[in-house]
Amino acid sequence: MIRVTTSLLNQLSDLVGQAFEKCDLDPSFGKVVVSQRRELGQFQCNGALGAAKKAKKNPREIAEKIVAELEKTGLFNELSLAGPGFINMRLNDEFLIKHIDQISGDASFGARDGHTPETVILDFGGPNVAKAMHVGHLRATIIGESLRRLRTFLGDSVVSDVHFGDWGLPMGMLIKEIELAKPDLPYFEEGNSGPFSEVSPVTVDELQLLYPAASGRSKEDPEFLEAARQATFKLQQGHAGYRALWQHMLDVSVNETKIDFDLLGAHFTEWKGEADTNDHMPGMLDRFKKEGLSEISDGAVVVHVAEEDDKKEMPPLILQKSDGAVMYGTTDLATIEIRQQDHKPDSILYVVDARQSLHFEQVFRAARKGKSITEHTKLEHVGFGTVNGKDGKPLKTRDGGVVRLRSLIEDAIAEARKVVLEAGLDDRFDAEELDNIAKKVGVAAIKYADLSNPRMSNYVFDIERFTKFEGRTGPYQMYAAVRIKSMLRKAAEQGLKQGPLVMTADAERNLILALSLLPEAALAAADKNAPNILCDHVYALTQEFNSFYHDCHVLGEKDEAVRSSRLTLCAITLRQIETVLQILGIDVPERM
């Protein structure tokens, strides 16, 4: 019996595995892959070589026996041998058609069949209070959002948490800086326990100036730094005025980042932050102390996380500094415990800059040591490389400053508008639709460029290249989908119907093969947290569609059965391209 699965490669591997079994050989040798040389076959199996080695037999003889077994199934159009014992296969059309009918009737094209659903928490975005999101948050947001969509597509129950940076020393620094600028505000009055005004005393623009000022002052003025430390501690202990002021800073910052997240189409189910650990903190610190998991070192409370076979230095995780303040790692550890209570996750994935790998290693080890999370729960730092300028160094503004995320997106949209105007689209669309198209093209350009690189690699930000309507770009993939849409619209206008599939050309078969590989691509992308695999898949698919469209008439086809079959094929292809682009966070406009 063929296992019930909608992945074509799995079905074939099972089938060939059974042939091996009939020849008294291990069925695992039946693994089938897509052929690298299409002229020889659609698929190949190289297992006869391994099987022969194990059985001390001639590989070609074994391959011949397997081929004889496979011939009996009647499912193949062509079976041949190459080299020392490679088996090449071409499926018959009924099989292909049945397969594509089956997966095209499924929302996930069969991908969900190969996935065991789990509860996964995705921690991404990670903006900080008072700081505008910068280029460093770009990848966290784009990759995180795409993994969120992918996991949802595969049927997981997904929690996405923005994990705002809102609880460390920068908060005390800001409080003190605001006090210097506006000393008369009620938040600083000794003993004032509120209530305080509903209106924030600072705007987001002010905050973004106050932060660098405070940070510069902390470096120059040790007294200011000390005052900031104390303010941080008081804030964490619940000082009413500081709390109220902090809430204002948080609110205006959150509202500001929501604009960026909306532009990038990122979605969070939780808007929590470091500060949300505050109530949990005393109990956790207590437990770590009582269970002997933490100890005092130079006045600080630390957890030793080094292990014997460590190749690199593994400093202890600092839970509390000598002044009592908790750290970035302490809030992350407490967040793990809270997530365990709230969601009982199977995995927690942190989509954060690769340069934070030591931090996560320390936190994960402390969490394991303290049993903060169940043993089976996977904790993974999904790191990524930097976005570089054309000089190969991390992207900076012309005067050496940090590049704001907003300006990056705005530049991309402006460049997209230029390209769209050059293509003459303004003759066909009104201003509003043109705006909409430019926005979609600009965002698609940034996202596809980012996601198509293996996540750990750095890449050069080159918006002119990203917005091109050719090659491996977002706009190109998007355009491929728009063209199919417009063709299907034309067909509908002419009253042409879609109908059952019939195969008349290899280009049609190849397109079906490309469509059939989505489950493999989606599952591998989820397994490795690698959206680039889906970028490759959609690129291969649009290429295959182009060949099909080049070789086969669709609207102009005279034979009605062939034409309606091809229209069906176009509709399935469109749905799959749109589905994958949707996972990558790319919206396809209706017209372009």
Could you list the residues that contact ligand ARG (CB under 6 A)? Answer: 123, 126, 128, 163, 165, 332, 350, 352
Closest approach of Cβ 261 to ligand ARG, in Å?
14
Closest approach of Cβ 356 to ligand ARG, in Å?
7
Distance separating alpha carbons of residues 61 and 48, to the nearest angstrom:
9
Closest approach of Cβ 125 to ligand ARG, in Å?
8
Looking at the DSSP assignment, which residues form a beta bridge with residue 90?
A: 78
Strands 76-82 and 43-45 come out as unpaired
Instruction: Return the ∠ at Cα 461 (arms to 460 and 463), rounded to 5°.
Output: 140
CB 239 within 8 A of CB 180: no
CB 361 within 8 A of CB 307: no
Distance separating alpha carbons of residues 87 and 85, to the nearest angstrom:
6
Task: Pick between residue 185 and residue 405 the one whose CB is nearest to ligand ARG.
Answer: 405
Closest approach of Cβ 365 to ligand ARG, in Å?
15
Task: Pick between residue 64 and residue 346 the one whose CB is nearest to ligand ARG.
Answer: 346
String of DSSP letters for 524-587: HHHHTT-THHHHHHHHHHHHHHHHHHHHS-STT---HHHHHHHHHHHHHHHHHHHHHHHHTT-P
Q: Which residue is nearest to ligand ARG (CB)?
A: 126
Task: Pick between residue 165 and residue 383 the one whose CB is nearest to ligand ARG.
Answer: 165
Instruction: Return the ∠ at Cα 72 (arms to 69 and 75), rounded to 5°.
Output: 110
Closest approach of Cβ 109 to ligand ARG, in Å?
33
The tokens describing 38, both together, are 């299409």
Closest approach of Cβ 332 to ligand ARG, in Å?
5
Task: Pick between residue 165 and residue 370 the one whose CB is nearest to ligand ARG.
Answer: 165
Closest approach of Cβ 174 to ligand ARG, in Å?
15
Distance separating alpha carbons of residues 331 and 319, to the nearest angstrom:
9
Distance separating alpha carbons of residues 210 and 178, to the nearest angstrom:
7
| Residues whose CB falls within 8 Å of the CB of residue 112, separated by 6 or more in sequence, listed in order | 106, 154, 155
Per-residue 3-state assignment (H helix, E strand, C coil) for 272-331: CEHHHHCCCHHHHHHHHHHCCCCEEECCEEEECCCCCCCCCCCCCEEEECCCCCECHHHH
Task: Pick between residue 256 and residue 508 the one whose CB is nearest to ligand ARG.
Answer: 256
- CA dist list (Å): 537 to 366, 459, 518, 521: 39, 20, 7, 7
What one-character DSSP code corresponds to residue 349? E
String of DSSP letters for 69-135: HHHHHT-EEEEEEETTTEEEEEE-HHHHHHHHHHHHTSTTTTGGGG----EEEEE----BTTS--BH
Closest approach of Cβ 351 to ligand ARG, in Å?
8
Closest approach of Cβ 468 to ligand ARG, in Å?
32
Task: Pick between residue 6 and residue 277 the one whose CB is nearest to ligand ARG.
Answer: 277
Task: Pick between residue 59 and residue 165 the one whose CB is nearest to ligand ARG.
Answer: 165
Q: How far apart are the first and last CA of the chain?
A: 48
Distance separating alpha carbons of residues 133 and 140, to the nearest angstrom:
11
Task: Pick between residue 170 and residue 442 the one whose CB is nearest to ligand ARG.
Answer: 170
Preceding peptide of 195 cis, ω within 30°: yes
Task: Pick between residue 259 and residue 496 the one whose CB is nearest to ligand ARG.
Answer: 259
Closest approach of Cβ 318 to ligand ARG, in Å?
15
Task: Pick between residue 129 and residue 420 the one whose CB is nearest to ligand ARG.
Answer: 129
| Residues whose CB falls within 8 Å of the CB of residue 191, separated by 6 or more in sequence, listed in order | none
Task: Pick between residue 345 and residue 474 the one whose CB is nearest to ligand ARG.
Answer: 345
Task: Pick between residue 325 and residue 441 the one whose CB is nearest to ligand ARG.
Answer: 325
Closest approach of Cβ 366 to ligand ARG, in Å?
13
Closest approach of Cβ 35 to ligand ARG, in Å?
43
* Amino acid at position 77, single letter: N
